[in-house]
Amino acid sequence: MPLRQRFETLLLYDPNHSPATANVWIAHPSPSEEQALGKLVVVSSLENTDRINLDIINLIQEELRGGYYRAVDAKPEHAFEQALNQTNRRLHRVITDGVADWVERANILVAAVWRETLVISSVGTIHAFLLRRSLKQGGAVYQMHDLIGSETSAPNPVRLFSHTISGRLQVEDQLLICTSSLLDYFSVEKLRRTLLEGNPSTAVHQWEASLLGVEQRASFAAVVVQA
């Protein structure tokens, strides 16, 4: 039986005080689109709060959604590649028109989730952790796997989203996509324990309650996907 995912989001962003523009977006496709290709997810953080940041984020979301659900190839991996190519072309036109200051400040992850299939592409510093149950001698162990790693390369303005990672989700998996600011306040182990102690909604509410008291008014964005 195909997996049906549950999505929970965290977004704490004050445009008047936050040092970065943060955003979380989950596509709301039609029932037929969702059945064929699942859902798209975008988690963004652009350093500073220039007004252009939200325009760029909206552009990425719109281009990705249009390219993905109208793709000729019905396989999610191929549709995602087509959508990324379309998005990259549009962003390159924006950059060559002189709107380019945001590129070096961009930390964005885009993902497609369809049944067991997961496809990810990212730019800048952003995180994706997979919490997975594995059986070892002595019982079950739940480990957090870093899907992206901490190494980043300079963005390529010709092809901003230049690589993809694909994999398969399993029953009981939890995927955490988050901005690096979340790791300034919680260790990976703390995030793992919180996810294990309850459901994704409970975990997100606990993080939010802790972060609301942050004096620096940092911005935070995250999505938890439960398989």
pTM of the complete model: 0.93
Query: What's residue 3's pLDDT?
Result: 65
Alpha-helical segments (H) within the chain = 31-37, 52-69, 76-96, 188-197, 200-211
Cβ atoms within 10 Å, residue 63: 18
Average pLDDT along the chain: 92
Tokens (6 digits) for 158: 């010709």
Determine the pLDDT at residue 153.
Answer: 65
Give the per-residue pLDDT at 216: 66
Q: Match 């997810």 to its residue by tokens.
A: 41
The answer to whether residues 144 and 192 touch, using CB atoms and an 8 Å cutoff, is: yes
> Radius of gyration over alpha carbons of the chain, in Å?
17
131-134: long-range pairs with CB below 8 Å, 24+: 131/173, 131/174, 131/175, 131/176, 131/192, 131/195, 131/196, 132/170, 132/172, 132/173, 133/170, 133/172, 133/173
Burial class (CB in 10 A: 0-12, 13-18, 19+), 132: middle
β-pairing verdict for 117-123 and 6-12: unpaired
Share of the chain above pLDDT 70, in %: 95
Q: What is the mean pLDDT of residues 147-171?
A: 86
Q: What is the pLDDT of residue 4?
A: 74
Write down the pLDDT at residue 151.
60
What percent of the chain has a predicted confidence (pLDDT) above 90? 77
pLDDT tens track for 32-88:
999 999 999 999 999 988 999 999 999 999 999 999 999 877 899 999 999 999 999
Q: What pLDDT sits at residue 214?
A: 75
Position 133 confidence tier, pLDDT thresholds 50, 70, 90: confident
**Phi, psi values for residue 159, rounded to 5°:** -145, 80
Q: In this structure, which topology does domain 6-226 adopt according to CATH?
A: Phosphatase 2c; domain 1 (3.60.40)
| Whole-angstrom distance, CA of residue 154 vs CA of residue 194 | 33
CB 129 within 8 A of CB 91: no
pLDDT greater than 70 at residue 134: yes
Using the Cα atoms of residue 163, residue 28, residue 5 and residue 32 in order, give the sign of their dihedral.
negative
Report pLDDT digits (tens) over 166-216: 999 999 999 999 999 999 999 999 999 999 998 999 999 999 999 987 766
Residue that is written with structure tokens 């008047």 in the block: 16
Asked if pLDDT for residue 139 goes beyond 90, the answer is: no
Domain boundaries, the chain: 6-226
Residue 49 vs residues 15, 52, 122, 186: alpha-carbon distances, Å: 6, 8, 20, 24
